[in-house]
Chains A and B, each alone.
Chain A
Amino acid sequence: MSAQTLSEKMISKNHMGINIASVTVGVGILTFPRALAKATSGFDGLISVVISGLVALLIGWLLAKLAARFPRQTFFDYTAIIASKPVAYALTLLVCLYTMLFVSFEIRAIGNIAKQYLFYSTPVEMITLSFLLIVQYAVAGSRIAMLRLNLLFLPVVLVVIFFVLVFTTQLLEIENIRPYFSSSWKSLLEGSKAVGLSYSGFEIILFYTMLMRNPEEGPKAMLLGLFIPVSLYVTIYIFVIGVFSAEVAKNLTYPTIDLAKEVEIPGGFFERVESMFFTIWIMTIFNTCVMWLDITILNLTSMFRKVKKMVWILALSPIIYFVAMLPQNLVDFFAFADAITYFGMIIVYLCPICLLLIAIMRGVKGHE
């Protein structure tokens, strides 16, 4: 036995994959069938899911390659090596802004949806605040232990979703799914763009590779990490279309929630399956949210080494909470989500890929 405790142990390839899957499955899982059904004509949307999954995999692979070049170094460190310190400061700060906005978005999503379906008269502010407090608590502890929660939660999430889907099979109607393959390429690409927003999150590989036992296994972890959401989205999408038809899916605010609400198991406790669905969904959002906040703190402490972690948590929380309260209604909220994702595309996809190119051209490599 090594002297290391569990909380100090490096993470393995599969654990990294689970982390990626946990962070990717978030708010998007509830809304993507609507966006997808709107863009494509029904069933074909699943091609879009796969296309954008492949694009995500390609980007993720590049990001993993970049991170693997610099084992045990933070994002800030290797950006500084590749493209000078000032650039590293600027880029890392922007990344912090992005991840912070993401935390705001997730906690607001919890507030909105919990208010709509669970707490009709509790103010959104209160729901959001209590969720944020729990997220703070999780981030305050050991990083590896926090990531270990993903290993605990994700199987539960997948099992419950599977359970919900099994019980909706009796409502599937084949005429809702047909016709197959009737959309044009343009609409499929449009759909890919729409569902692409639900894949954001895999960029955590940029920051967490430093915790991996074998950083060169990053690309493989990415494969596992994206395989889970892609197959999950494909299944959910087929079920949403099969149960509701494309026309209805377009007109449901949260198609996946309504899918869970359709299920009725006669007798007692499990009659209302959506309560279980909400529980596990909040678990996934919790994971996502905790990881984003942790990455924010991770990047900030890598830049300003003297400031303690706890200080950052306490300083950032009010800002995160304030930003989360900014969107005034559902339309604002969705626009906010899209804006973050587009911002993220530049900051955490485009810039790191450029960094990778520069690193390859200049032949820069990290030291083991």
Chain B
Amino acid sequence: MNKRFALPTILVIVSALLAGCWDQVQIEERGFVVGIAIDAPRTKEVEKRAAKEAPRKPKVKQRFLVTHQLVIPGGLIAGSQGGGGGQNTTNEAFLNLTSEGDSLFEVSRELATRTSRAPFYQHLKVLVISEEVARTPNGFANAMDFLLRDPDSRRSGKVFIANGLAKSIIEVKPKTEKLPSLYINSIGENIEKNARMLPEVRIGDIHEELLNPFSFVIPRVRAEKNEIKMAGSAVFSLYNQMVGFLGEEETEGLNFLTGSIDGGLLKAKVKGDLVVLNIQGTKHEIVQDLRDKQNFKFTIKIECEGILAEAYALMDFLSKEETKKLERAFAKEIERMCLDTLQKVHKEMKVDVIKLGSNIRQKEYSLWKQIQKDWESGQRLYEKSTIKVEAKVYLRNVGSINRSELEEGR
């Protein structure tokens, strides 16, 4: 090519390409959002003020009070004291910012006026939504839309429903962790230890549930002074509106019914004294009899195995008959728990959180196509169906000892 053109061409290209990077954001300028809590506003004050400023602005009925939890990286370093020249003066690793608005994006952008670090959602770990928001029609789905739509955020954050204020959940100051959100996140991972916790529900799973015509459950959290308790579950109807809570015991029953137990404990009474089983795994099968449309029959078969963890009852755990007796007692306890849960979700709340409908859909698709509209709504075939539970327990091991005490000792 001509040498005359070379220099001008290079200059043009260089000036176009080296002028700067549009998207350069220094890592120190990013506000890593690790947790979000969504509440309904307590007062109408902000709304009134906003209405005064711009009376003709488009408005909707619902407003959200959103708390973002940002990480202060300096606070994460152990032993770094405030005076070291960092921005961190309180030595806390997080900063909670609460703003009100009727769209989540609005709130997110409003944060930019209040903090030096613009919110960045890629590391979002925990999303807590208050009971109040979840109970309003469409409120839950509306609160989820922004995080699902934003290409910047991911579908892997965990979702919880707060019993009470959502804000207070991410405001707890745990002793073991620096960041409340990470603390909540790690608690959510302890499902193997306790059967009373619902398996984690991710933002992506919520999208699935919102689109599917089924009821669903989300773990419930409750704040206490320096800690949170994650037990029980919030129940949502097929219209994606929260209809109630299940207690801890009922959640355990539900976990048995859906076959989502990896570990936990099971208490039963034998000869008037307690025995405790350490659950090590369950198997779960649904047998369906769909001949009579007005009375579908489901049998949920649960098989559970575990080892003896604690026993107050005085028996010879190494004998065959006694083991059988124990296994029967545990099985009965599982059945009792499941029936209690069924009583509530099937008879009282009338929601198909055991996903029997999904089971029909998977196995008898042509039938499902016909009854789809009449399952939980319409003719309410779910309500009219009969659900039975059959449990079986295998006691694999009795632990290191047989007896801790002799009969004569009592």
Docked complex Cα distance between A182 and B355 (Å): 20
Contact of B156 with A262 in the complex, beta carbons under 8 Å? yes
Closest Cβ of chain A to B272, distance in Å, is: 42
Residues of B within 8 A of A269 (CB): none
Contact of A130 with B366 in the complex, beta carbons under 8 Å? no
**Chain B residue, CB-CB nearest to A264:** B156
Q: Tell me if B358 is interfacial: C-beta within 8 Å of chain A.
A: yes
Closest Cβ of chain B to A241, distance in Å, is: 11
| Contact A258/B365 with A119-B23, A130-B17, A247-B211 known, Cβ cut-off 8 Å | no
Contact among A122, A245, A261, A262 for B22, CB-based, below 8 A = A122
Q: Tell me if B155 is interfacial: C-beta within 8 Å of chain A.
A: yes
Contact of B204 with A262 in the complex, beta carbons under 8 Å? yes
Residues of B within 8 A of A258 (CB): 155
Q: Tell me if B151 is interfacial: C-beta within 8 Å of chain A.
A: yes
Contact of A261 with B155 in the complex, beta carbons under 8 Å? yes
Contact of A245 with B212 in the complex, beta carbons under 8 Å? yes
Residues of A within 8 A of B155 (CB): 258, 261-262
Contact of A179 with B361 in the complex, beta carbons under 8 Å? yes
Contact among A130, A175, A182 for B358, CB-based, below 8 A = A175
Residues of B within 8 A of A120 (CB): 23, 152
Top 7 A-B residue pairs of the complex, sorted by shortest distance between their CB atoms: A178-B362, A122-B22, A179-B365, A182-B365, A247-B211, A119-B23, A121-B22
Residues of B within 8 A of A178 (CB): 361-363
Interface size class of B (residues with CB under 8 A): 20 to 34
Residues of B within 8 A of A116 (CB): 151
Contact among A133, A247, A262 for B208, CB-based, below 8 A = A247
Contact of B122 with A251 in the complex, beta carbons under 8 Å? no
Q: Tell me if A123 is interfacial: C-beta within 8 Å of chain B.
A: yes
Docked complex Cα distance between A179 and B16 (Å): 54
Closest Cβ of chain B to A238, distance in Å, is: 16
**Chain B residue, CB-CB nearest to A250:** B211
**Number of contacts between A and B (CB, 8 Å)?**
56
Q: Tell me if A248 is interfacial: C-beta within 8 Å of chain B.
A: yes
Contact of A119 with B22 in the complex, beta carbons under 8 Å? yes
Contact of B363 with A121 in the complex, beta carbons under 8 Å? no
Residue-by-residue, is A229-269 near B (CB-CB < 8 Å gives 1, otherwise 0)?
00000000000000011011001000000100110100000
Contact among B204, B362, B363, B365 for A244, CB-based, below 8 A = B204
Closest Cβ of chain B to A362, distance in Å, is: 46
Docked complex Cα distance between A244 and B13 (Å): 44
Residue-by-residue, is A161-201 near B (CB-CB < 8 Å gives 1, otherwise 0)?
00000000000000110110010000000000000000000
Number of A residues, CB within 8 Å of B: 28
Q: Given A175-B355, A261-B155, 8 more contacts at CB 8 Å?
A: A120-B152, A122-B23, A175-B358, A178-B363, A179-B365, A251-B211, A262-B204, A264-B156
Q: Tell me if A272 is interfacial: C-beta within 8 Å of chain B.
A: yes
Q: Tell me if B154 is interfacial: C-beta within 8 Å of chain A.
A: yes
Contact of A261 with B154 in the complex, beta carbons under 8 Å? yes
Interface residues in A46-87 by Cβ distance below 8 A to B read: none
| Contact A121/B207 with A175-B358, A247-B212, A261-B154 known, Cβ cut-off 8 Å | no
Docked complex Cα distance between A247 and B206 (Å): 12
Interface residues in B86-139 by Cβ distance below 8 A to A read: 122
Residue-by-residue, is B228-240 near A (CB-CB < 8 Å gives 1, otherwise 0)?
0000000000000
Q: Tell me if A117 is interfacial: C-beta within 8 Å of chain B.
A: yes
Residue-by-residue, is B337-363 near A (CB-CB < 8 Å gives 1, otherwise 0)?
000000000000000000100100111
Residues of B within 8 A of A122 (CB): 21-23
Interface residues in A90-122 by Cβ distance below 8 A to B read: 116-122
Interface residues in A219-233 by Cβ distance below 8 A to B read: none
Closest Cβ of chain A to B210, distance in Å, is: 9
Residue-by-residue, is B182-213 near A (CB-CB < 8 Å gives 1, otherwise 0)?
00000000000000000000001001100110
**Chain A residue, CB-CB nearest to B204:** A262
**Chain B residue, CB-CB nearest to A117:** B151
**Chain B residue, CB-CB nearest to A133:** B13
Name 5 interchain pairs, CB-CB below 8 A, sorted by A.
A116-B151, A133-B13, A179-B363, A262-B154, A262-B204
| Contact A182/B366 with A130-B17, A248-B207 known, Cβ cut-off 8 Å | yes
Residues of B within 8 A of A262 (CB): 154-156, 204
- The listed residue with most B CB atoms (<10 A of its CB), out of A117, A122, A245, is A245
Residues of A within 8 A of B211 (CB): 245, 247-248, 251
Interface residues in A11-69 by Cβ distance below 8 A to B read: 41
Residues of B within 8 A of A121 (CB): 22-23
Residue-by-residue, is B216-254 near A (CB-CB < 8 Å gives 1, otherwise 0)?
000000000000000000000000000000000000000
Docked complex Cα distance between A116 and B150 (Å): 9
Closest Cβ of chain B to A229, distance in Å, is: 26
Interface residues in A120-171 by Cβ distance below 8 A to B read: 120-123, 126, 129-130, 133
Residues of B within 8 A of A118 (CB): 23
Residues of A within 8 A of B355 (CB): 175
**Chain B residue, CB-CB nearest to A120:** B23
Closest Cβ of chain A to B8, distance in Å, is: 15
Residues of B within 8 A of A119 (CB): 22-23
Closest Cβ of chain A to B122, distance in Å, is: 7
Docked complex Cα distance between A147 and B361 (Å): 48
